[in-house]
Structures are given as C-alpha cells and as structure tokens.
A and B are shown apart, each in its own frame.
Chain A
C-alpha cells in the first residue's frame, strides 16, 4: 500500500513539474536592441549535423550551405529561376546554341590573393567537365571544348544544344571554383577551402564551424563580421537554444528543418518565424508495373480523386504548405503549375465501381478475388512529417474502399526497396531549385536513366520522348509547347500523386533583421542580413 501512495506521489510531482515547465516555456529571454546594425556582430546558426571535414567544392561530403558561403559559380540562380551574373558578369550564346562566351568579372581575387581570370576559370571547369562521376549533370557530357578567348573571356563549346546549361552552372557542387593556388601537385583540391565568396573559413570542428567576412569581397560586403554554425542534433535543443538566445537563427530544409509545429510554438515569443513559398514538391510515386494493382488507371485516378490535399496542408503543415495539382509549383521554370483539385471521394468510388472494383461501404474493395490493397513507403528520416501524411492518406483512401499499408523505413532500407520497385506508392520529393525542372525530369522520370537511390516518380518508356523533347527545346515557344505536352500526358496517365509544397521556414531572434530566404534551399539566407547593436 505504501508503495502505491509513493508511486502516486511520484507521478503527481512529475506531472506538476511538466506542467510548470511547459508553462514557463512560453516566455523566453531576449534582448531589446538599439535598432542600429552592429558591424562586428556574429550570426549564430544552428545546424543538425557537422559541416564535415572535406569542404572540397567538387566533392559531395560537406554541408552545401557552408560550401556556398565560400565558393561561387559563374552564374547564380535567382528568384523564380532567373539566371543572374556572379563570377561571370555577362555572357552571350551563339545562334546555334553551341557556343557560350562568358565575360568574367574583373578585379575579383580568391581569398589567398590569386586572381580570378580565364586561367582560373578553366582550371575550375576542368575539375569536373567530362568526369563521368558527375554525369547526373548534362553539362559534364555536352561540353566538348573549353578555351580562353582572352584573359577575361572563356568559351564553352557544346556537342549539342543544351538550354539548361546556365542553370546547371549555378548549382552548389561540383561546379564552383576554388583557387588554383590551393591545388596540390596533382592539380586537385588540396584541403584548403579558398574561394571568392563573401566568407572565409576560420575554424571547423565537429561541434562548430566559424566563418569570417571576406573584406575584399567583390559584391555587397556582408553586414555581419562572423557566422558561426553550431551543431545541435536535437530539434528541441535548437528551439531552446534560439529562445534562450544562444543561437540567432534556426531552420532550412537542407540544414536543420524546422517543422510547422515547432514554428508554431515559437510564435508569440521574442522570436520571429519567416516563411516563404518553397519549390520542392511532395509527391506520391506510383508504381504502375504490370504485376501491380496500380497498373489499373482507374486505381491511380481514384487515389488522386480521394486525397484531400487542402486538409493535409492545413492540419499537418498548419497552413505552411501549398497544395498542388502538378509536378512542379509555379516557382519552378516552365512548371505549368496547377492548383490542387478538390477532393471528390464520391467520384473516386464511382471510378472504382466502373472499373469493376466492388465492395460494401467500409470494406476493402475487390476485383476478381483480388483485394484493393496498396503498400505505401514512407521515410521519417527523409521527411519529418512522413508518418502523419501517410496516415492521413491512409484514412482518406480507406474511405473509398482502398486499404493502404504504411511501411516506415529507414534511409538505407527505403533506398534499397525503391529502386527495386518493391512498393505500390512511395512518398517522395522533387529536387527543387536550382535543379528543377531538368534534373527531376531526367533522373526521376526518364526510364533510360538509372536513378539508383532515388528511384522513379513515374516510369514509362512511352513518356521518354516527351521528356527528351522538353529538355532539348531551343526556343521559348518550343519549350513551352513541350512542357505543356508533358504535363498533359502526366495528367492523362495519372502518373503520380501530387500533394503539396512546403514553405521555406526559418526562425530568428529579435535582433536579426532583413532575413530574405535564398532562392534555393541549398544556401543560407545571408544576403543583406544584419544584427542590431545590443
């Protein structure tokens, strides 16, 4: 008896402690600033995993955002996919689309003093052009010649026209430039991350990476003197660190995703949440192979009709996502974006009924003795809200007589099963800016390209010519027509289930100002950011 009363006492005190702490969680500490920028300020960002030791801009080891702070491309991916000048101040394209002349930006130096000129540009390009390791980039294959026209002009000659070239040249890796002086005797990266970018690496460890402002930066000089990247693996730890003021900024889909629920918790305190429309689409890949239930067009159609995208965006993403009805959102070039269709369970039932999938209400439908069961792969590691989204879809499809079994897999297992096509549906995403639309179409939809770990969103040899046509289209008019045809085809075959596009979410302390999310998720929103004097 005594034990029982002790247990009760313990549980009660635990509950009280939890309540008390939850109540005090609402008010955080924060400084009230002077309103003036502090030129000596340090911006502290929380990231979930260490930056990595190998910052080589031609390798795939380090955190993208850290590489992008130091290494720059010839051209930059601007808002909405507009190509903007970077280390090339301008460029011209020959009429046949085969010669690209880049006029390099004058008076730019690498942070070790090496000059930026045609020699340095060619040195950088040769690190990756023609290297089959990087053949996910079309550019590695189509660039057939690199030469200097003069000291500040470089010509790239293509084997065949490739209108996506400039966009590929804007990505983070492996196309950016490091100082030729920082190369080893073999002409490769030696280990010192020397670029032309706005920041210089000062120290790099497993728990913290520090950058300082590049005082000789050619562009607009950063308004913070230092940027510190602090490794905090735990999502709650990052929230608390921001509230306490131990870090100034958290978030970023590719560095330390801030879930809409966590963002909701932050509003009302001394912190601000900044959300802007994103460009990575959340989709359901359909496996319509011959032996699968999804081979039946009616099933694919019914799934798309039954899913209520609006309520998923509202309930699970708390409105910080936009439902979509197409492969890409409007922010992606040539997207032919469509709004999400309204859910119509009645019509979904009718479509199934007409196709011979029959069953009573509340029961799994059947056809020729085969039950309408679908296995759906989700991976929480890849997508924090995967389970919630999966369960919502499970419930919505059950309502029309489709039974969905969820398989929550870790990264290694899902990367094993998806390429082997052991699934009916799989929750997946497009690559997003600056890779889309080309890379998603090429790697995740073209049946002739082996996509390995990521599998396919939709695969059908019949669809390939339409993709190839869109990728190769020269004039704006041709491109538009090709993309339109492509989207119409996907609509007709119901090749996948579009769901939504999540916002880019960042949260900052009250002293941080002018946070403008970058045009891609692969870079930190550092441009123009400043911190108030305290």
Chain B
C-alpha cells in the first residue's frame, strides 16, 4: 500500500516535470503577448523585459519549477498570464463541470460497454454479438470531435430535441456524455466480451455447466465476479483518459470546465494555466489508477497476493 502511494507520487513528479519542460521549452515567447495585453499595442523590448522579470520568467528553469511546485503544494497555482486572475479558485470552480462530464461519460461507457460485452458473451457469434463487435470497433475508432459534430447535427439540428451548446440542465448533458463515452464504451465492451469468453472456458465454469447450470447462470454467477476486478481497472484507466478528452468535448459543446480552460490556455500559451490543468489531468489519472489498484487488491485475492509478493 505504502509502496503503491510512493509510486503514485513518483508518477506525479515525473509527469509534472515532463509537462513543465514541454511547455517551457517550446519555441516562442509568451511575455511579449502578456506585455501587449497589459499595456496596449506596441509593447517595447523594455516593457517585455520588465514583464519577464515581474513574472519571474527570466530565472533558470529548475528554479522556476521548484518555485512552482513549492507554491502548488500550498494550494497556490499562481495567476493566469492572459487574465491575471488566480488559478486555484478558477480551477476548483471549473472542476465541477468536468466532473459532471467525465463521471456521466464513465457511467455511459460502463453501462453500454458492459451490456454489449455481456450480450456478446451470452450469445457468441449471434447477430447481437456481431453488431456489438461492429459498434465497438466503430465507437473506438471514431474521433470524439467528429462524433460530437454528428450528434449535434442529428439531435440538435435535425430533431431539435437537445440544446447544441452550453450547460442548461440534464437535456444538455446527454450529447457530451455520449460523445466522450463512446470511445471508452467500445474498448470496454471488447474487454468484457473477451474476458467473459475466457472465463467461460475456465475449469470452474465447465464445472458449472456440468452441474446443469445454464450459460446465463454461469456467466452471471461465476464468470462475471471472476473478471470483475480486472475490467473495473480497465474502466478506471479509460476514465482517466477521458479527463484530457474533455478538452475537445468541452470546447465543442461550449462548457466551461478544466478542459476548455486548458484549450484557452493553449491558444495564448498561458504557461501557469497549462501547467495547472495538466496537473489536474495527471492527478485524475494517478488517483483513479491508485484507487482501483487498492480496490482490486481488496476484491481479488489473486491481485492481493501479487502485491504482497512484490512487497516482500
């Protein structure tokens, strides 16, 4: 357990350093833009140099990273370069919308993917299995922004049953959930389908059949609990990947979450905002995976033993 947490911390460190370097080593100088923003068109090179000094951008990279981490640990993520407003309260404020988006999409992926996978395993090679497989492939390969556009055109423009943008009650949640959740649903359904099929060939399932239980009974009572913890892990990983996916979906549907904050920051190269939203993405990923590892270890004795084996 302690080891797992240490790994998580190390991952956070590695991720934040990589993100920091990528953002800061990219060519181009954002201080010019900031100087223009704060003092009007035609900033002189002295304005720019003064701005770089004020922002601390003239210090060496390791110092800037250490300074940023030190403040971040105290909950202070700095101020946005573009708007000159503190980042922490804005991130907290925006996190709600991203949470709504990602959790809804995760539930959608879990339900739809799980159902398709189970039906496929229950009736292997039937028409329902084939359709499920086709949908999984389609869902996993269609880019989310494209799917979002199709959904908006059909449900928003053609049928006019849901709003095409913004956040205005449950009707406006549905399309973003589907757009973000379809890819993971496709992957998830395959994992469930393949996992169940493999479990159904295990000795305990064969024993079940020999006792006269139906395929459905064996699937629900024996195979499902057997693969449960591992597919849960896959769903968690998929959910972690959905958080950065929110960048696209929030932009397309004009939501104001962490993803659209990141998108705005990319356009201006708002370094502190980029670092902070990357940190949120990273945190979501690491926390989800760590949680799942811990839950899996509780539920599944095989994994627990593996952990213990590593620990000793």
Q: Which A residues are closer than 8 A to B by beta carbons?
A: 6-7, 9-10, 13-14, 17-18, 21-22, 24-25, 28-29, 49-50, 52-54, 60-61, 133-134, 136, 173-174, 205-208, 230-234, 236-237, 240-241, 243-244, 246, 381, 409-417, 419, 431, 439, 443, 449-454
> Within the assembled complex, what's the spacing in Å between the Cα atoms of A530 and B190?
55
Contacts of A417 in B (CB 8 A): 28
User: Contact partner of B264 among A9, A49, A240, A452, CB < 8 A?
Assistant: A49
Contacts A443-B41, A450-B44 known; A240 to B164 CB distance under 8 Å? yes
A-B contact count (CB 8 A): 165
Q: Is B111 an interface residue (CB 8 A)?
A: no
Sorted from nearest, which 7 A-B pairs have the closest CB atoms? A413-B28, A412-B28, A452-B43, A10-B138, A412-B269, A450-B44, A136-B42
Contacts A416-B27, A453-B33 known; A234 to B251 CB distance under 8 Å? yes
Contacts of B130 in A (CB 8 A): 6
Contacting pair A415 B28 (CB below 8 A):
yes
Contacting pair A24 B154 (CB below 8 A):
yes
> Within the assembled complex, what's the spacing in Å between the Cα atoms of A411 and B82?
13
User: Contact partner of A233 among B41, B42, B251, B268, CB < 8 A?
Assistant: B251
Contacting pair A136 B41 (CB below 8 A):
yes
Contacts A60-B39, A233-B251, A246-B163 known; A10 to B134 CB distance under 8 Å? yes
Q: Min CB distance, B94 to chain A, in Å?
A: 8
9 residue pairs of the A-B complex, CB under 8 angstroms, read A60-B37, A136-B40, A207-B167, A240-B152, A411-B33, A412-B30, A415-B29, A415-B33, A450-B45
What 0/1 readout, one digit per residue, does chain B (111-150) give for beta carbons within 8 Å of chain A? Answer: 0000000000000000000100111011001100000011
Contacting pair A244 B164 (CB below 8 A):
yes
Q: Is B252 an interface residue (CB 8 A)?
A: yes
> Within the assembled complex, what's the spacing in Å between the Cα atoms of A94 and B264?
49
Q: Which B residues are closer than 8 A to A by beta carbons?
A: 26-30, 32-33, 35-45, 47-48, 83-85, 130, 133-135, 137-138, 141-142, 149-150, 152-154, 156-158, 160, 163-167, 251-256, 260, 263-264, 267-269
> Within the assembled complex, what's the spacing in Å between the Cα atoms of A450 and B44?
6
Contacting pair B39 A241 (CB below 8 A):
no
Q: Min CB distance, A329 to chain B, in Å?
A: 21
Contacts A10-B137, A454-B42 known; A237 to B254 CB distance under 8 Å? yes
Tell me the nearest residue of chain B to A237, going by C-beta.
B165
User: Contact partner of B40 among A10, A18, A133, A410, CB < 8 A?
Assistant: A133
Tell me the nearest residue of chain A to B266, going by C-beta.
A410
Contacts of A443 in B (CB 8 A): 41-42
Q: Min CB distance, A199 to chain B, in Å?
A: 22
User: Contact partner of B33 among A136, A412, A449, CB < 8 A?
Assistant: A412
> Within the assembled complex, what's the spacing in Å between the Cα atoms of A440 and B273?
33
Q: Min CB distance, A2 to chain B, in Å?
A: 8
User: Contact partner of B164 among A14, A21, A237, A414, CB < 8 A?
Assistant: A237
Tell me the nearest residue of chain B to A27, going by C-beta.
B158
Q: Min CB distance, B125 to chain A, in Å?
A: 9
Contacting pair B154 A453 (CB below 8 A):
no
Known: A232-B166, A453-B42. 19 other contacts (CB 8 A): A13-B138, A25-B158, A29-B157, A52-B83, A61-B83, A61-B84, A234-B251, A236-B149, A240-B156, A246-B164, A411-B28, A414-B28, A415-B28, A416-B28, A419-B45, A452-B32, A452-B36, A453-B36, A453-B41
Contacting pair B134 A244 (CB below 8 A):
no
Contacts A61-B83, A415-B29, A416-B27 known; A246 to B165 CB distance under 8 Å? yes
> Within the assembled complex, what's the spacing in Å between the Cα atoms of A231 and B137?
34
Contacting pair B41 A207 (CB below 8 A):
no
> Within the assembled complex, what's the spacing in Å between the Cα atoms of A6 and B141?
13
Contacting pair A231 B254 (CB below 8 A):
yes
Contacts A21-B150, A24-B154, A233-B263 known; A174 to B40 CB distance under 8 Å? yes
Contacting pair B156 A244 (CB below 8 A):
yes
Tell me the nearest residue of chain B to A247, going by C-beta.
B165
